Amino acid sequence: MPQTVKKTMMRRITLVLALVIGAFTLYFAVPGQSAKHIIPTANASDSFTGTQQGCLAVFDERMRALHSKDTHDLCELTKGKVVMVVNTASQCGYTGQFEGLEALYQQYKDQDFVILGFPSDSFKQEHSDEEKTADVCFVNFGVTFPMMATTPVLGSDASAVFKSLSAGAQASPQWNFHKYVVSADGQKISSFASKVEPLDAQITNTIDNYLKQN
């Protein structure tokens, strides 16, 4: 084989290997896959105590519903339930997870479990028009769990819910479709990075365990 052909083939092989290694590095970097299960930290514990209304303090508020003038009473929605909170985006590579989230909701909704969806443009992948966001959620994916109006989930502008969850779980969303699961008594929080699919055993096992403790 001529030397020039050998060099060309080696360059191509090296390039392919670099691309494969780079892809694996990107896949296992941000957002990661590992789950984090903790007891709320001391500086966030007040948010995860019960209120006179019967819900956890973190959920003791009303929020406007997606593309609507109506509001969701988070206290009523979450009272006595295991709660999943997820920040969503309708122009993201993970947008297809809406299908899994809806399937998860249908699987557990009659077992004191609820999902709260928070569309967010914090990662610049949400429509500026809530009508388009609503179409993706409700029309394209048939979402039936409560969806809030578009809201920030990072930094000082983040909604109070996400500030409390980030502090309590010691983990802020690194990307869209980060998932928190909170036990009904607020004593445990599990945090799942974006790559963990809604029906992954890590999540369903956590929900099952929290429901048993309920």
Task: Tell me the catalytic residues.
Answer: 92
Q: What is the dihedral of CA 157, 159, 164, 169, to 10 degrees?
A: -90
Separation between Cα atoms, residue 155 and residue 41, nearest integer Å: 18
Q: Which long-range contacts (CB under 8 A, 24 or more apart) does 153-159 make?
A: 153/87, 153/118, 153/120, 153/122, 154/122, 158/122, 159/63, 159/118
At a CB cut-off of 8 Å and minimum separation 6, what does 213 contact?
Answer: 183, 184, 185, 188
How open is the CA angle 100-198-106, to the nearest 5 degrees?
55
